[in-house]
Amino acid sequence: MKQILTLALFFSVFCGAANAAEKPNMIFILADDLGYGDLGCFGQEKIQTPRLDEMAAKGMKFTQFYSGSTVCAPSRCVLMTGQDTGHCRIRGNGAAEAQTLDPKDITVAEKLKEAGYNTALMGKWGLGEIGSTGHPNRQGFDEFYGYLNQRHAHNFYPEFLVRNEKQVALRNITSPKWESMRIASKKPVDGAGFATPEGRIDYSHDLIMDETMKWVKKQAETEAPFFLYLALTIPHANNEGTRGTGDGQDVPDYGIYESKDWTNPNKGQAAMITRMDRDIGKLVDLLAEKGIANDTLVFFTSDNGHHKEGGNDPEFFDANGPLRGMKRDLTEGGIRVPTVAYWPNTTPAGVEEDHIASFVDWMATACDLAGVETPKDTQSLSFAPTLLGSPEKQKQPEYLYWEFYERGSKQAVRFGDWKAIRKPMFDGRMELYNLADDIGEENDLSAAEPELVKKAESFMEKAHVPNPMWKIRK
């Protein structure tokens, strides 16, 4: 009888229980352009992030976790579909038709709906507009509030946000340029723009967090489990809103950094990150207040590496820590991202986890925890055993793969301790690094390790499935 009960407990916790009450709530928090070294728990010394540092101390800090891509849209596509950029539909920040999910795409939200979850997306989507097949409400999300268009999301004081499939007007007064664009098109413009200083009333991040708190409070009163995808817009820069000032770090105030002898863009960058940290702390406090903290996995990470935009100086903050490169690079600084998993009484506390995983693996992990089958056409590998404190049951990926088509095409593959980068794609020169000894990718070992180069080439060939929408730009 004891053996039967033990097996039943294993399948209930690891494979997913049939009873909705036994399925964990899941909150996936995605920062926008946050660097590997931008949090205190990952070595940051100038910017204060006490709440995320506390979550890392009480939960798990993933030191070898990777984004889906080195820029916004493809990274989010990988996260939602469990397909890497050699397979997924959206492989870059391209035109609307190349940046819209198809009805055939199966998202994490759709799979969790199958398992009885209530679902919501708050924040930035970037994978389909109103009326398109990629709209969140058509891709498994019951509720949506925020930005559909990623360029619209550059503006933190926009003319409107979107609730489900309707635009919600805000109180911000837009610039003459923005207003002339609106009048010419006879409708609100989903693009660049900025509010005039005197018209800055509704800060979008604050509105998104308010909606998030309301939704979670509502879910706490229901019996169904929930999945919240909280896709924050900070600390991305508003390049279109600088008006030549060089300050694209839009934030209502500089807070604790007001009196610092720093540039305004650096004050703004730090203030956005600390504001984000504060609000994540409020969300975690709400879970405890409602008595559902122990039933909820909170997973925090970033969509890609840090940026150098709007006057922000990443070298001042050492934003990539020991890594080389940043956003738009396939070196570690562009794709290895700060990651924290917090699940009281479930995730081992105070663990610095070196399991190699990426956005592609969230699909299988969420399905595993919810007790539903992972779609067969993914490259996703569950890291639920790691979250549940069973590393002996954790399978390892054969490789992780990325491809990118901007600023000269490039490919990268991580296999074991080894990382290979090829520029340009398909026929360029291969670089090879041993990340166990060279996390900064300073020593190219391709000449000394020809067999490993061949292995990397075979992985790259295996991982790339041609897509007519994505071709190398000459």
In a shared domain, residues 189 and 313: yes
Domain that holds residue 427: 404-463
pLDDT for 241 equals: 66
What is the rounded average pLDDT of the residues 351-355?
A: 97
In a shared domain, residues 293 and 169: yes
The label of the residue with tokens 């995320």 reads: 52
Integer Cα distance of 411 and 76 in angstroms: 18
In a shared domain, residues 285 and 264: yes
* pTM for this model (two decimals): 0.92
CA distances (Å), origin 5, targets 11, 237, 380, 388, 391: 10, 53, 30, 18, 22
Could you report the per-residue pLDDT of 142-178, keeping only the tens digit for each? 999 999 999 999 999 999 999 999 999 999 976 555 5
Give me the percent of the chain exceeding a pLDDT of 90: 84
In a shared domain, residues 188 and 96: yes
Could you report the per-residue pLDDT of 212-237, keeping only the tens digit for each? 999 999 999 999 999 999 999 999 99
Q: Is residue 470 domain-resident?
A: no
Examine residue 424 and say whether the peptide bond preceding it is cis (omega within 30 degrees of 0).
yes
Residue 168: other Cβ atoms inside 10 A:
12
Q: DSSP character for 373?
A: P
CATH number, domain with residue 411: 3.30.1120.10
In a shared domain, residues 235 and 134: yes
In a shared domain, residues 393 and 408: no
Examine residue 235 and say whether the peptide bond preceding it is cis (omega within 30 degrees of 0).
yes
Strands 339-342 and 60-62: antiparallel
Examine the fold and report which residue of 342, 371, 397 is the final residue of a domain before the chain moves on: 397
Q: Is residue 5 domain-resident?
A: no
Supply 338's token pair. 């700060």
In a shared domain, residues 340 and 422: no
pLDDT for 98 equals: 80
Integer Cα distance of 50 and 474 in angstroms: 46
Q: Is residue 17 domain-resident?
A: no
Examine the fold and report which residue of 397, 416, 450 is the final residue of a domain before the chain moves on: 397
In a shared domain, residues 378 and 412: no
Supply 15's token pair. 């494979």
Examine the fold and report which residue of 371, 397, 423 is the final residue of a domain before the chain moves on: 397
In a shared domain, residues 313 and 374: yes
In a shared domain, residues 358 and 418: no
Coil, strand or helix: which one is 61? strand
Q: Is residue 295 domain-resident?
A: yes
Q: Is residue 264 domain-resident?
A: yes
Q: Is residue 347 domain-resident?
A: yes
As for how many domains the chain has, the answer is 2
Residue 300 near residue 293 (C-beta atoms within 8 A): no
Q: Is residue 40 domain-resident?
A: yes
pLDDT for 200 equals: 85
Could you report the per-residue pLDDT of 88-111, keeping only the tens digit for each? 999 999 777 789 999 999 999 999
Q: Is residue 16 domain-resident?
A: no
Could you report the per-residue pLDDT of 363-392, keeping only the tens digit for each? 999 999 999 999 999 999 999 999 999 999
In a shared domain, residues 78 and 216: yes
CATH number, domain with residue 382: 3.40.720.10
Could you report the per-residue pLDDT of 296-329, keeping only the tens digit for each? 999 999 999 999 999 999 999 999 999 999 999 9
Residues 6+ apart with CB under 8 A from 203: 156, 157, 250, 251, 252
In a shared domain, residues 339 and 434: no
Nearest in space to 330 (alpha carbons), one of 225, 401, 415: 401
